Amino acid sequence: MMLNGKTAVVTGGSRGIGLAIAKALLDAGAKVMITGRNQETLDKAAAELGVGASGFASDASNEADVQALADHAESLFGGVDILVNNAGINPYYKRAEHTELAEWQHIIDVNLTGVFLCTRAFGQQMLARGNGSIINITSVAAHTGLTRSAAYCAAKAGVEAMAKSLTKDWAARGVRVNNVAPGYVKTDLTAGLAANDTLRATIEARTPMARLAEPREMAGAVVFLASDAASYMSGATVAVDGGWIAT
Ligand SMILES: NC(=O)c1ccc[n+]([C@@H]2O[C@H](COP(=O)([O-])OP(=O)(O)OC[C@H]3O[C@@H](n4cnc5c(N)ncnc54)[C@H](OP(=O)(O)O)[C@@H]3O)[C@@H](O)[C@H]2O)c1
């Protein structure tokens, strides 16, 4: 599962799961560009990651930003082998009947349209070279649903369906598209839930492994899917969820 000589872009790589994935890809031998919306934060994270890491500010939901990212990565690396669509948000925790259209749209823009925009921009480059691996960070939300998260669940399920469609279009042309579906992971995204004793206990009770994951526990599956060890895989979802989906 070594990635020596490979190049990777990890969206939302400045912290949390994306940062852990970037570190694992670097450890496996790849050069890695992380993205997010703040250049200063990215420069700091890239410096901490060390040799082979760089950061480029790009809002995944903004078409011009994504094209600028793809152009920059292409000129820096001379071709991107691995795209990890990790950037994601879930800022509203409310039932659908109380959800504003703008709130729905905000989540769809980043978590679904953002994945499409990045996949299209880097997919065009990968198809031209006849080689590439795209990995989407989805969620157990796509499979079992989560309360007060209709847009989030719809977006994540949409991304997994997109990977199946892209597999029909791209697999024979050398570009593989797979998903990693995490369960609950200790990051800023879940800090509010984890700090609430009742909510955290509910999550732990629902999870067969009875705990939240560390971000680094998501990274191994991504390295595997990025590597030649997964050369016959496309359209698949690897659940890294402490058993959540199985039960
Ligand atoms: N944590 C969990 O329990 C969990 C479970 C299942 C799935 N996931 C998924 O895993 C992924 C990472 O989540 P996380 O928990 O690591 O979240 P996080 O700690 O909040 O980090 C999110 C990352 O995405 C970036 N980001 C946010 N909006 C962006 C945008 N519009 N364009 C580009 N970058 C953006 C953030 O940087 P800036 O804010 O600086 O832009 C940050 O680097 C998400 O797709 C999430 O849905 C997480």
Contact between residue 81 and residue 133 where contact means Cβ atoms under 8 Å apart: yes
* Rounded (10°) angle between helices 114-129 and 63-77: 30
Of 112, 174, 170, 169, nearest in space to 137 by CA? 112
Alpha carbon of residue 169 to chain centroid? 21
pLDDT digit string, tens, across residues 55-95: 999 999 999 999 999 999 999 999 999 999 999 999 999 99
Q: How far is the CA of 14 from the centre of ligand 1 (A)?
A: 9
Q: Indicate whether 1 pLDDT > 90.
A: no
Contact between residue 14 and residue 38 where contact means Cβ atoms under 8 Å apart: yes
Radius of gyration of the chain (CA): 17
Q: Model-level pTM greater than 0.95?
A: yes
Q: Looking at the CA of residue 215, tell me the nearest atom of ligand 1.
A: 16
pLDDT, residue 199, reads: 94
Contact between residue 61 and residue 88 where contact means Cβ atoms under 8 Å apart: no
d(C-alpha 161, C-alpha 183), whole Å: 19
- For the question of residue 184 being annotated catalytic, the response is no
75's tokens: 């000129």
pLDDT digit string, tens, across residues 3-35: 999 999 999 999 999 999 999 999 999 999 999
99's tokens: 């959800």
pLDDT, residue 223, reads: 98
Contact between residue 143 and residue 181 where contact means Cβ atoms under 8 Å apart: yes
Q: Which amino acid is at 20?
A: A
CA atoms in the 13 A half-sphere facing the CB of 11: 30
Q: Looking at the CA of residue 152, tell me the nearest atom of ligand 1.
A: 47
Q: How far is the CA of 16 from the centre of ligand 1 (A)?
A: 7
pLDDT, residue 213, reads: 98
Length of the chain: 247
pLDDT digit string, tens, across residues 96-151: 999 999 999 999 999 999 999 999 999 999 999 999 999 999 999 999 999 999 99
Atom 37 of ligand 1, nearest CA residue: 36
Phi, psi angle pair for 190, to nearest 5°: -110, 10
Domains located in the chain, CATH noted:
7-238 (3.40.50.720)
pLDDT digit string, tens, across residues 192-238: 999 999 999 999 999 999 999 999 999 999 999 999 999 999 999 99
pLDDT, residue 207, reads: 98
Q: Which residues line ligand 1 (CB under 6 A)?
A: 11-18, 35-38, 41, 59-61, 86-89, 110, 137, 139, 182, 184-185, 187-190
Q: How far separated are the first and last CA of the chain, in Å rounded?
A: 30
Contact between residue 25 and residue 82 where contact means Cβ atoms under 8 Å apart: yes
Atom 43 of ligand 1, nearest CA residue: 12
Please work out, in degrees rounded to the nearest 5, the angle formed at the alpha carbon of residue 17 by the alpha carbons of 158 and 171.
45
CA distances to 63, 91, 114 from 105, in Å = 16, 12, 12
Kindly tell me the sign of the dihedral angle through the C-alpha atoms of 13, 18, 24, 28. Answer: negative
